[in-house]
Structure 1
Amino acid sequence: MTSLDFSSLPISPEQLEALDGAGFTKMTPVQAESLPLILERKDVIIQAQTGSGKTAAFGIGLLNHLNPRFFGVQALVMCPTRELAEQVSQSIRQLASRMSNIKTVLLCGGKPFGPQRDSLRHGAHIVVGTPGRIEDHLQRGNLELKGVKTFVLDEADRMLDMGFAQVMADITARLPKNRQTLLLSATFPEDIKKVSRSIQLNPLQIRVEEPARREKQIVEQLFFEVQKHERDRCLLALFEHYRPRNAMVFCNTKQQCAEVARFLRTHDIEAAAIHGDLDQRERDQVLLQFANDSCPVLVASDVAARGLDIPLLEMVVNYELPRDADTYVHRIGRTGRAGESGQAFSLVTPPEAPRMRVVEEYLSTNCICDVLSSLDRDPNYQLQGSRVTLQFDAGRKQKIRPGDLLGALTGDAGLSGGQIGKITIAETSSYVAIDRLALRQAMNYLANGKVKGRAIRARRLKAQQ
């Protein structure tokens, strides 16, 4: 039987120390199966759902293959969305935290082009990015890939769905033939098999299904048959009846996302939308508020939500059923994780009934249907986050550390440690989640108080209007 201890792998003491510091104690099934092959530099296909630990698997592998003394790009990780690219780059930086002078550069849209170009000119070991922005830098001569040892296509199925097939092929053509290629995909349709055949050499396939089976067992799925004009009323009734602590509502269009979030806010449910029309700063702030319990409801399109790792989500609602069963399974897989139960509800109008049949066929089960009148309404219902987020106008560039903010709030401001949640330090700003009831006390201090010996402006972040 394969040991699940990371120490059983041929990786450096620095890597083991970083894994321990990040809270990785035992390998997940996908890591136990794939890491020995990745470390042997084999081409590997990994088919597993979000949350299975596959990011750490390829992150450990590519770091193990690096030569820190060669300051050129040795690993390229391509992701379909900005959010996933940012999440992956953060994970790799964490895994590399005990290694000396490892530089990771993030290349994605929504961020200024100039600083990315300058970072590449100063050299980098690892590049993580989206296809469009990677191609832009290649065409402008900012990015050199001839030293790449490891190429990772993360969520390759979504990249194909988004129309990046040709861009992926153009980028791959610039890579050295003698490299390791890792292809990760939640699904493995014929298009992905073709991609694999064109870019990999004798790949070994790892398929881990346990998470999907577990989700099936503990996620309550219910379909509500409604007329088109009843969608909003049914959505509101679901919140009033089930009273979740947090939820994700999936929509099929950007306009739908914005309209549904606005509708929920007008009915005293704190909600924020995430879709392609938001700039990167807005997207980052929405995700941060959702992750730190400041905004309990996220209304998202599939592309914007892809790659988000959100634990302990109580409820998922399909405002409109997706057009394929794979997407449906991916959506409801957001809830019922880590052994917790979850609820997934779908609103289905008569013209969408064929989509429900597709889901039934895919899951080999009958969909259970209900009606709006079965839900108990509560005209006084409200849903707010347990915390609020404070934004400070200083970050890494101003040498601000989490301990500086924590010290100011628990020292002179008089808040207890339990009233302070997640602290996030960005380039030129910082964010602190605090208990809603402590907001006035914190703001009274920050109006005239100091952080790290100087006055720093702070304001409360709110869901975008």
Structure 2
Amino acid sequence: MTEFSKLPLAPELHQALGVLDYSQMTPVQAASLPPILAGRDVIAQARTGSGKTAAFGLGLLSKLDLAQTAVQSLVLCPTRELADQVGKEIRRLARFLPNLKVSVFCGGVPLRPHLASLTHLPHVVVGTPGRIQELIDEGALPLAQLRTVVLDEADRMLDMGFEAAIAGILSQAPKDRQTLLFSATFPEEIRALGRRFQRDPEEHTVADGEGGAIEQRFYEVEAPRKSDALALLLADLAPESALVFCNTRRDVADVAEDLAQRGFAVQALHGDLEQRERDEVLVCFANRSCAVLVATDVAARGLDIKDLPLVISYGLASDADTHTHRIGRTGRAGEDGLALALVASAERGRVVGIEEKLGKAVRWERIDLSRRPGRPAPAAMVTLVIDAGRQDKLRPGDVVGALTGEAGLPATAIGKIDGFATRTYVAIERSQANRALDRLRAGKIKGRSFRVRKLG
């Protein structure tokens, strides 16, 4: 069974699947959805971009009693970015379910607004373990009616030290709940988590090869020449976007600075950034106004960027599982991807573990470091910031209307629009960015004047 239409789902869910043009299930959906809908606990291994969110999203939505105002489903995620994405996908799947409330709760913001919002309990809660535990401790998030718990990217949550929080949350949940565990890798810690908190789970492993093909290439380059090699590869391949992994924050800063000096549209993502700075970096990368993102593994956890053609390991990952997570950022949703690794002689030993996981030898290639890289093209888009957002009732449609109406921009010049509580980011084609900025500053949106500026 590979067609969504054959699943025993509510008519409203089938209607949403039709609108979203979801017809054929991905391998992880075909494997996990039938037992989920049958009420079984499931532990599934599938890499990022395999369609797991729709799998557990449809499962938990199928079990809701919308007439009952209570927390009935809980999804735990390692990062705010992933939690936001999961919340959006569940809302998309539930668009035709009447009166459904989905809430997302993550750390990094004050607790008080979250407590206030829980005076009216949601049906579905998505969040990071630390913040969810805080809300439970405050007595604001009762779990007595919980029917489904999902641990999304469980291996990342354990890596980030959330095991105690997860255990505390699950120990307070009803014993007869359904527990779904999704992970990109299956280390012993994940199996132990399943044994501790699941009831006879049905286990499914979806091979990395199912979906888009990821081509891997390895280059032996000593540390002093890695910056030159990286610039050459980026210039030669000229990807619309690329994610570069470094092993330390210092390397992230140094590599980003070097690429910027060479003319690349680059941003750095690391743990020292404030939440707003992190949001803006990710917005620019996702909307194509930044072509290269340099990040540590910790900073990139939960990062979900669609249509990412290239991943480069500037420093080889210390273990094969981390390497698997890195390359899983590309080749998503049936698209092909390319993953490159720059390997110093001191890192050669790490390749052995990668080869053991792959079950074959990796592909080595040479790079001519005597060449000079060409000057990179500027990013296709420029991001404008409007200092108004959801709290001001400003919607993406209002921004599009102002740009295509009074500002006179063609709709094709407008890219991705990201709305936050107090600000809105809109990507504009580079050739039209100054015109859009001038017109928005001189005109009005929904009859009001807002501060508008370029980001960066």
What is the CA–CA distance in structure 2 between the aligned matches of 1:212 and 1:374, rounded to whole Å?
Answer: 32
What is the CA–CA distance in structure 2 between the aligned matches of 1:177 and 1:234, rounded to whole Å?
Answer: 54
| Counterpart code for 1:315 | L
Counterparts in 2 of 1:178-217, with a 5 A limit?
Answer: 178-209=176-207, 211-212=208-209
| Counterpart code for 2:202 | L
| Pair 1:329-2:329 in alignment | no
Return the match for 2:296 from 301, 304, 311.
Answer: 301
Counterparts in 2 of 1:1-40, with a 5 A limit?
Answer: 2=1, 4-40=2-38
Return the match for 2:109 from 108, 111, 117.
Answer: 111
Corresponding position of 2:446 = 452
Corresponding position of 1:368 = 363
Shift of 1:339: 5.2
Contact 2:76–2:127 (8 Å) recurs in 1: yes
Q: After superposition, what is the alpha-carbon deviation per residue over 1:36-62, rounded to whole angstroms, capped at 9, x for unaligned?
A: 211121111111111111101111111
Corresponding position of 1:59 = 57
Corresponding position of 2:398 = 404
Output the TM-score relative to the length of structure 1: 0.93
| Counterpart code for 1:302 | D
What is the CA–CA distance in structure 1 between the aligned matches of 2:51 and 2:370, rounded to whole Å?
Answer: 38
Corresponding position of 2:348 = 353
CA-based RMSD of the aligned residues comes to: 1.9
What is the CA–CA distance in structure 2 between the aligned matches of 1:403 and 1:213, rounded to whole Å?
Answer: 37
Shift of 1:136: 1.8
Return the match for 2:250 from 255, 278, 286.
Answer: 255
Q: After superposition, what is the alpha-carbon deviation per residue over 1:146-170, rounded to whole angstroms, capped at 9, x for unaligned?
A: 1111011111111122222222111
Corresponding position of 1:123 = 121
Q: After superposition, what is the alpha-carbon deviation per residue over 1:358-406, rounded to whole angstroms, capped at 9, x for unaligned?
A: 222222332333455357423x512422111111112222222222111
Shift of 1:287: 1.5
Alpha-carbon spacing, 1:363–1:276, altered in 2? closer, same or farther (3 Å): same
What is the CA–CA distance in structure 2 between the aligned matches of 1:50 and 1:340, rounded to whole Å?
Answer: 13
Shift of 1:321: 0.5
Corresponding position of 1:394 = 388
Q: Give unpaired runs (5+ residues) of structure 2.
A: none
What is the CA–CA distance in structure 1 between the aligned matches of 2:31 and 2:365, rounded to whole Å?
Answer: 42
What is the CA–CA distance in structure 2 between the aligned matches of 1:349 and 1:250, rounded to whole Å?
Answer: 15
Contact 1:240–1:377 (8 Å) recurs in 2: no
What is the CA–CA distance in structure 1 between the aligned matches of 2:7 and 2:338, rounded to whole Å?
Answer: 38
Alpha-carbon spacing, 1:87–1:338, altered in 2? closer, same or farther (3 Å): closer
What is the CA–CA distance in structure 2 between the aligned matches of 1:264 and 1:426, rounded to whole Å?
Answer: 30
What is the CA–CA distance in structure 2 between the aligned matches of 1:102 and 1:153, rounded to whole Å?
Answer: 21
Contact 1:316–1:332 (8 Å) recurs in 2: yes
Counterparts in 2 of 1:74-93, with a 5 A limit?
Answer: 74-93=72-91
Corresponding position of 2:130 = 132
Corresponding position of 2:224 = 229
| Pair 1:312-2:310 in alignment | no
When structure 1 is superposed on structure 2, of 231-240 and 245-254 the one drifting more is: 231-240
What is the CA–CA distance in structure 2 between the aligned matches of 1:151 and 1:416, rounded to whole Å?
Answer: 45
Corresponding position of 1:146 = 144
What is the CA–CA distance in structure 2 between the aligned matches of 1:438 and 1:41, rounded to whole Å?
Answer: 53
Local SS of the residue matching 2:340 = strand
When structure 1 is superposed on structure 2, of 258-267 and 40-49 the one drifting more is: 258-267
Shift of 1:338: 4.9
Alpha-carbon spacing, 1:376–1:212, altered in 2? closer, same or farther (3 Å): farther
Corresponding position of 1:70 = 68
What is the CA–CA distance in structure 1 between the aligned matches of 2:237 and 2:369, rounded to whole Å?
Answer: 12
Corresponding position of 2:97 = 99
Shift of 1:297: 0.9
Corresponding position of 1:48 = 46
| Pair 1:176-2:170 in alignment | no
Pairs aligned (count): 456
Alpha-carbon spacing, 1:138–1:339, altered in 2? closer, same or farther (3 Å): closer
Local SS of the residue matching 1:55 = helix
What is the CA–CA distance in structure 2 between the aligned matches of 1:6 and 1:343, rounded to whole Å?
Answer: 30
Local SS of the residue matching 2:303 = coil
Contact 2:27–2:210 (8 Å) recurs in 1: no
Output the TM-score relative to the length of structure 2: 0.95
Contact 1:212–1:333 (8 Å) recurs in 2: no
Contact 1:241–1:375 (8 Å) recurs in 2: no
Shift of 1:213: 5.1
Shift of 1:214: 5.4
Contact 2:51–2:333 (8 Å) recurs in 1: no
When structure 1 is superposed on structure 2, of 236-245 and 312-321 the one drifting more is: 236-245
| Counterpart code for 2:10 | S
Corresponding position of 1:267 = 262
Contact 1:249–1:299 (8 Å) recurs in 2: yes
Shift of 1:449: 0.7
When structure 1 is superposed on structure 2, of 333-342 and 109-118 the one drifting more is: 333-342
When structure 1 is superposed on structure 2, of 285-294 and 19-28 the one drifting more is: 19-28
| Counterpart code for 1:438 | Q
